[in-house]
Structure 1
């Protein structure tokens, strides 16, 4: 079962829908968790824009004013829901994997900004965790870090991190190493970075899928990076895309590829790391080529207009 979690900072906008739908298709996503939908009336919103034409089920929590809002979308042929618990700061979707019958609980979390609110949330989620059987996956924007290395250029509060770590320990949860980058959030001015988004799974889940992978994807239309949890060991996404040697003749392309390769981090089996790296590199190259095409088209149009102007002036002087 592959999961995608992302804080969208507002679900409206065709660009956001196209972006998420593309990720859903590329990474074979079966469960989508969205934080900060900012939808006060989710019932009237067309969530199919994120999922495509395939069948889906959904659980939502409306925003309070323009703040918050959660949505969970899943594939009913892979996961059959039997119960949901909805709260302002989380949604618990409990059910069974269709193929194996395994009971699993998926939690979409959007934690409050204030420390006291987060501690109350940890306590509430822990109570639910201890009262429901099955495997557990908790995902989303926890608005908290576990140690000082997960913040850059922003204040670190050890007491808050300790409370978060104590919750994780008490709930019997663990993390997979995250590939693709060290941080998931960047401030609007680009100076502050933090790892606020993550997956936490129970020990039983990790024992069942020891080679599962978590990877942070590139940001496009949000200040948070989407993160993917994949339990698929043999195929992480689509086959590699067609590559043209002529791309190396584009100014800056070679240096871009070398720079991106040097920043990739992943801890896990070598074959899985290679598959994830190729998928990640493909997405980065596609984005770079898109920007380069826009720049080249703009330059071409500018030169074309300049040439037309020169020809017009030449004609006037004849």
Structure 2
């Protein structure tokens, strides 16, 4: 079914080695296909839906699906975008049960349908940001270029590396030292971000005070010198933040002097969503459960780094 304006269309596909299309029916918001199994000639029918978003059209939507159910007596599978939820907890920010939610729930009950449980997300419907998945543990450690531009950073790294005393095989010693340096670096980054945030507030407040005094005619050379130092420090902190977000977003074509980090925030968020593992396919099976995905990954690397001999 083709799209209508900005609304998406409907596409129903099946494996022709397993199923043969026998009949079809096209409505205003649904597309139904009767399929006959090649193996035993049994029949089912599937309905793909794209529900209307306007409330006044939803009643006609349920009526259309009632008509579809009466067309055939075979087992029925229905799926797609209903543009509706059954319960308050299925939509982010929903606070009350509406008539349309009740109508959706009644439709499922009247036709003895089974609502498949949700997996991998908190909501079936969420505006704007993607639904937040469960915590998958700490994020991977990545060194940021901006950290190395901080004063005394090379000296600080050397002190951390030398501080931890360890004995044993060289690879074990290096691994312990790297983990210790990573831990200390994360602590330093957390403290620095908190300091920079508070420092920016003070600098911006002081810049406003000096500008006000000069506007009132109370400025002098000392104020102008202080303003120059404060602006230089202020720009330095903003530049540090911009470099950090630019690396996270992997966008390199903007000029170094651009202080607007909103674009980099957006690109970094897009990359973070694109890097998330929502499911894995292992040995021909699609896995969506978080614990099962974790187990598959661990087993893969255990086999990869296990030694068969000396």
> What's the TM-score once normalised by structure 2's chain length?
0.42
Structure with more relative contact order (C-alpha pairs < 8 Å, separation 6 or more): 1
Higher helix share: 2
> What's the TM-score once normalised by structure 1's chain length?
0.41
